[in-house]
Amino acid sequence: MLIRKPADIRPSEITSEANYLNRRDFMRAGAIAGGSLLAAPGLSAVIPDGRYARLADVAKGPYSTDETPNSFEDISTYNNFYEFGLGKSDPAARAENFRTRPWTIEVTGHAEKTGSYDFDAFMKPFDLEERIYRMRCVEAWSMVIPWVGVSLAEVIKYFQPTSKAQYVAFETLNDPEQMPGLRGRSLDWPYREGLTIAEASNPLPILAVGIYGKVIPNQNGAPIRLVVPWKYGFKGIKSIVKIHFSETRPKTSWNMAAPGEYGFYANVNPTVDHPRWSQARERRIGTGIFAERQATLMFNGYGEQVAHLYKDLDLRRNY
């Protein structure tokens, strides 16, 4: 992963929130008029409130932090989404016309229920919740993001993995026509990630479809992306098209690219440094480039919920 200073983002590359919302408002209103969003109760849900598309029926979920969330502007203009380029402002600039409808999610492998699901049909059984989580990138910056999503544990339960399923693997869309970054060899595409079934069944992870109560911006992984708050941000795979229940540990993108730097587990751990930088502290985006870096917490502060998952694991070796 490249580390760029916020100063590297040219102001001209940043879409103002008002412009951004106006454009989305227009696009969503069109989609709703076309009827494509009316099918799923979860996203029935997606209604324009006059100014922009707001998700309805969002319950307050558990585990939210009371830390101040980053601004919508920060969250939607400082991104990692290499399919749209390596720069932090590339995804916002280049994913504007990314097509998130129609969208199909394929569920395969060791589960009682498998198949190809239209996004709305996929979402239908699940309830939307707000979860305000810290996100710690392996590059040593962090944000607080008010996500809207569905519990991954509920999704896993719904598809009924068999006893053979030890892992769940995810893949991002691989469409070079829409994703200019795929022409580069920064990663072995498609972007892939995975969790153990025990991790995926923990109540913390979500599949996110919104931010700040609104439909998730394309650059943040529309229409649906993974959020695992105790792990480094690269585990949070965006724009998911495949979910596979696997007996063996799946290959994951950053681990394949640099196995000595990025492990499969990727739990936030201030005591295990990246070979090229310390993980002891982090820069909270939005606090200004001169603000003091804050201490990084073990499991990103979610140890109470997840430390038991790793009690028999040497976290120094299984980084």
Stretch that binds ligand MTE, among 65-73, 81-89, 262-270, 305-313 (CB under 6 A): 81-89
Least separation in angstroms between CB 35 and ligand MTE: 29
Nearer to ligand MTE, 81 or 119 (CB): 81
Q: Tokens standing for 173?
A: 């869309």
Nearer to ligand MTE, 37 or 227 (CB): 227
Nearer to ligand MTE, 161 or 223 (CB): 223
Residues 273, 259: Cα–Cα separation, whole Å: 14
Stretch that binds ligand MTE, among 50-58, 79-87, 241-249, 272-280 (CB under 6 A): 79-87
Q: Tokens standing for 8?
A: 């590297």
Residues 6+ away with beta carbon under 8 Å from 87: 4, 8, 9
Least separation in angstroms between CB 238 and ligand MTE: 4
- In the region spanning residues 99 to 118, those forming contacts with ligand MTE, defined by CB under 6 A, are none
Does position 131 bind ligand MTE by CB under 6 A? no
Least separation in angstroms between CB 212 and ligand MTE: 13
Does position 137 bind ligand MTE by CB under 6 A? yes
Residues 84, 94: Cα–Cα separation, whole Å: 6
Residues 6+ away with beta carbon under 8 Å from 258: none
Nearer to ligand MTE, 161 or 240 (CB): 240
Stretch that binds ligand MTE, among 10-18, 75-83, 125-133, 242-250 (CB under 6 A): 75-83
Q: Which of 111, 68, 117, 99 is nearest to 223 (CA)?
A: 99
Least separation in angstroms between CB 190 and ligand MTE: 8
Question: Where would I find the H helices in 95-213?
Answer: 119-123, 152-159, 197-200
What dihedral angle (degrees, nearest 10) is formed by the CA atoms of 114, 118, 120, 124? -20
**Among 172, 202, 267, 300, interactor with ligand MTE by CB under 6 A:** 172
Q: Tokens standing for 97?
A: 């016309």
Residue nearest ligand MTE, CB atom distance: 233
- In the region spanning residues 220 to 279, those forming contacts with ligand MTE, defined by CB under 6 A, are 220-221, 233-234, 236-239
Bridge partners (DSSP) of residue 274 are: 277
Does position 82 bind ligand MTE by CB under 6 A? yes
Long-range CB pairs of 114-119, under 8 A, 24+ apart, other chains included: 114/159, 118/39, 119/40, 119/223, 119/224
Residues binding ligand MTE (CB under 6 A)? 1, 79-83, 137, 172, 191, 220-221, 233-234, 236-239
